[in-house]
Structure 1
């Protein structure tokens, strides 16, 4: 049996190119765009085969740690560990830290596959043929990247020039090319020697770390110390902040791949997209007879070649062509699909203005380690929220100085502690928590617990939560 691969999934990005659905606190990898799973969950499912893979290592940050753990649990994919970056330092330090962790847990001969958590990939038979080729090439002493066969002269990707053939079926890397302009991209495509740089890798950890030490010693030293001084926190591995912060902010391409003599590329023609813009979401979607990709909460009429998606409200669209109409709970984007690469400029404008800055950062629905909470209605001295508590989870033992709360159970069973008394509430039952009372909510059942929470008081912001005990270490 060939050596199992250790998957390393990069899930710390905060991109907002798919605004208004993606926000800095709710990036695209954790969102459902088309289908029943997020991009992160789809990535997890691609590495769930125990014949091919060890349990995956997730690289993310403290802000997304519970979201990643929750989504992995939802699709029943056990994790090896969740590695938390204290600060963002680009891909070279992130992968070096992951390699040291994999080396520690799986030995010097381990091979790790690096995957982005926000790519859409058709994991068919050809895909796994490419994985096998990459694994064999890595075990033969190469640092392997996956080069996607171009289908158009795209300007949004870097390119890889292929070199000579290797016995494994891979090729040597002649050089890496930065994202080209349109004319240059057409030249690269016409030559037949260039592939898109996917940002996915297959790396023998010992060779990778030796090359990091040779070409990026500051990264190697800082990340090695950060892993050695890391601490376990629940299901997470926290890198030492002081030493990890000393690592230079540099990509793995610049740090290693453009300098090493051991680089190889696997030409890959499976369906792949980094979903970097709304037109790329439209491109992979199931289209109706008029070329439209339409979400469940939308109706279109006399419309062609358009993308219409809504998270909450129902959209009715008439008489459009080549348009993206995207609605979240609190914002709507309308623009030509062909111009969707420019969404980032709108986001920058929104982020500059105090009145709209929050629209680029958080959703009305925010994810918690115990579930999720969504704002339904707010006004002077009151706010209405919808709470969802995952089976077996509980919020912190807490109190509030400035507000009271009313809880109404909509679905499931709630175990509520107020002071020294415990109450069991079922659907259509409610309870009142007075200002200052110590309380806790938990879900003892097997299905998600859903409640409506009505807050009343002089001050309703989250910093009035006084935590006395918390299973997630937030006291």
Structure 2
């Protein structure tokens, strides 16, 4: 059998992990369990295994440079396919199948989420390879986890008759998330957790999409046929892709097909569906507490305290979740953590930017973070990675003052080019055409002071941009 093509799906906004996860930087790209994000962990899972090809990543256009940068950091390359709009998992799986089919009629694809935590990488690869053997016969395989407790947050699979000698069995039914009593019954009857990881021949999935979801297949086919190569990315045609109905692959195909199989497997797995799952996955102290960042606890039990850059202290609490970020704090209890998604919806209705946007905003060239803002001024901290270059731009309503605190900046100001070094500054009058670049080999950091009648991001008039945003 030819090597399996791993396809990593980077959809989802991760609102249940707010405020650490937000739409502008969702959970799959956040290092919740150490120095690496779950996306990076997923991509690294297949390194140096000849049973698998270089991965394909399907991600929203907004995250193209985050995906590329996180792969670069861990020394990996991948084919990155960009969705111009979120159409749910069915369209993404259709694209994965069509991309896989480009490798040949017998191509086998393993589709997986970027936000799952699987510590046993070798066990996962072996499971995908075994599932691939069954998939080669025309079965759409999923990995079914043997339950370790009566989970109410996972869907379940009722297994059926064996498929050959691979250990795989047919799927008799996919069932929705149960209550606790039903979950206990499912476990006693041999049901499996539905992990949401699929392994199939590309042509098999295409055939099932043609039968059960022809509109999704047609839109995805046209979007890929009319795709453009842009800065190394495969950018799907927006007009075509928008014609795909929004629905999940479970509803579009898996609940309707007669070709579904499941491979029962046993390894630690979590879809990190909420802060409770993060607490379970992290190491605990003698009192059952899990902590990340600058945290001090006193007389606390079974708590999760996650802190970004600021000291967070908890005294005399049990089963608490305390999450602090630069601009928002969440305090709840383990049994109420499932209400975080509803909280985020409330914040959106009140037009709170914190619901969807981080204080640190990532750009292709690096990032910026607001330090202070008031009437007629704004102060930002800006980091430009080596080789990064901002767009050539101007502003109608503000002037800017840049102070270099680390590295050296090459600054274009109208017809002049200046090199501004550490502890030096440059003034950019309102209306001047300007650009900043980092020609060095170390990150460039500056403090930007904006002064004017309006300091919003929509007062950026891009004239030229190496990242094609102009």
Same fold (TM over 0.5): yes
**Pair 1:15-2:14 in alignment:** yes
Q: CA RMSD in A?
A: 1.5
Distance, in Å, in 2 between the alignment partners of 1:185 and 1:137 is 28
Partner residue, 1:132: 129
Alignment match, 2:160: 163
Q: 1:384 aligns with which of 376, 379, 384?
A: 379
Contact conserved, 2:326 with 2:359, CA < 8 A, in 1?
Answer: yes
- 3-state secondary structure, aligned to 2:436: strand
Q: Is the 8 A contact 1:160 1:197 kept in 2?
A: yes
- Displacement after TM superposition at 1:7 (Å): 1.4
Q: What is the TM-score normalised by the length of structure 2?
A: 0.96
8 Å Cα contact 1:12/1:64 also seen in 2: no
Unmatched 5+ stretches in structure 2? none
Q: Can you list the C-alpha shifts for 1:356-377, whole angstroms capped at 9, x where unaligned?
A: x211110111111111111111
Q: Supply the distance in 1 between the matched residues of 2:443 and 2:146 (Cα, whole angstroms).
A: 43
Task: Single out whichever of 250-259 and 153-162 deviates more from structure 2.
Answer: 250-259
Kept in 2, the 8 Å contact 1:124–1:270? The answer is: no
Q: Does 1:439 align with 2:447?
A: no
Tell me, in whole angstroms, the C-alpha distance in 2 between the residues paired with 1:412 and 1:95: 44
Alignment partners' CA distance in 2, 1:75 and 1:135: 27
1:96 paired residue among 94, 100, 108: 94
CA contact (8 A) 2:138 2:200 kept: no
The structural deviation recorded for 1:171 is: 1.6
Distance in 2 (alpha carbons) for counterparts of 1:419 and 1:270: 60
What SS does structure 2 have at the residue aligned with 1:121? coil
- Partner of residue 174 from structure 1, selected from 172, 188, 212: 172
Residue in 2 aligned with 1:396?
A: 391
Q: How does 1:29-40 map to 2 (within 5 A)?
A: 29-40=28-39
Partner of 1:345: 342
Residue in 2 that maps onto 1:448: 443
The 1-side partners of 2:131 and 2:406 are apart by 48
Query: Residue 237 of structure 1: which of 224, 234, 237 is its match?
Result: 234
Aligned to 2:56: 57
| 8 Å contact kept, 2:51–2:129 | no
Match of 1:86 in 2: 84
Residue 3 in structure 1 maps to residue 2 in structure 2? yes
Q: Given the alignment of the two structures, is residue 221 of structure 1 paired with residue 210 of structure 2, yes or no?
A: no
User: Secondary structure in 2 aligned to 1:78?
Assistant: coil
Is the contact between residue 162 and residue 194 of structure 1 (CA under 8 Å) also seen in structure 2? yes
Contact 2:30 2:38 (C-alpha < 8 Å) held by counterparts: yes
With 280-289 and 132-141 compared, the bigger mean Cα shift is at 132-141
What is the 5 A alignment of 1:291-370?
291-354=288-351, 357-370=352-365
Once residues 125 and 243 of structure 2 are traced to their aligned partners in structure 1, the CA distance between those partners, rounded to angstroms, is 38
Q: Distance in 2 between matches of 1:229 and 1:217?
A: 18
After superposition, the Cα gap between the structure-2 partners of 1:69 and 1:125, relative to the gap in structure 1 and judged at 3 Å, is: closer
Distance 2:147 2:220 in 1: 35
TM superposition shift of 1:123:
2.8
Could you give the per-residue CA deviations for residues 206-254 of structure 1, whole angstroms, max 9, x where no partner exists? 1111121122222222211121122222222222222222222222122
Pick which of 291-300 and 231-240 moved more: 231-240
Secondary structure in 2 aligned to 1:47?
coil
Q: Contact between 2:46 and 2:125, CA under 8 Å: does it hold in 1?
A: no
2:267 matches 1:270: yes
Counterparts of 2:309 and 2:105, CA distance in 1? 49
How far residue 50 of structure 1 moved from its aligned partner, in angstroms, is: 5.1
Secondary structure of 1:271's aligned partner:
coil
Match of 1:422 in 2: 417
Q: Report if the CA contact (8 A) 1:144-1:201 is conserved.
A: yes
CA deviation after TM superposition for structure 1 residue 262, in Å:
2.0
Contact preservation (8 Å) 1:225, 1:244: yes
Determine if contact 1:46/1:123 at 8 Å carries over to the other structure: no
CA distance in 2, matches of 1:87, 1:429: 43
**What is the number of equivalent residue pairs in this alignment?**
469
Question: After superposition, what is the alpha-carbon deviation per residue over 1:362-413, rounded to whole angstroms, capped at 9, x for unaligned?
Answer: 0111111111111111112111111111211111011111111121222222
